[in-house]
Amino acid sequence: MKTIRKKLTKDFTESISPFTSVHVGSRLEFFPTEIVMIEADVSYSFLYLKNGQRIIVSTNIQKLEERFLPFMNMVRVHRSYMINTQFLKHIDGVNAILVNDIQCIISRRKRIDLFNAMQIIN
């Protein structure tokens, strides 16, 4: 997945900006800067927005990960969670604490991807 992310972000750096909306399902489109976290629930996903809303869409997290792949801030940190690193407050052991007191688990295998993404962004 790392090589795919690098290749796609290299190809799309000029054409895709954070102000490009992404189709998330159910006739909804959001900007990546509005989404704090995505939580998987079987074949549905919950989108946690920065304004505090929680929206359910009928798209699984794997498809959403593919759609958000060109955006470096969106990182899959667990098989059930994908976060926007812009809204990451701090990491507390195995938990990521985000704005609005949203918490998610970071798997030990995905922890490396998160730290790599944070180094690339900074």
Q: Which two tokens stand for residue 8?
A: 């796609």
Q: Whole-number mean pLDDT of the chain? A: 87
Give the model confidence (pLDDT) of 7-59 as tens digits: 444 454 444 566 789 999 888 999 999 999 999 999 999 999 999 999 999 99
Distance CA 9, CA 91 (A): 25
Structure-token match 């993404």, residue found: 117
pLDDT at residue 65 is higher than 90: yes
pLDDT in the model for residue 5: 55
DSSP state of 59: S
Question: Is the pTM higher than 0.85?
Answer: no
Residue 39 CB: number of other CB atoms within 10 A?
19
Distance CA 11, CA 33 (A): 21
Give the model confidence (pLDDT) of 91-105 as tens digits: 998 999 999 999 999
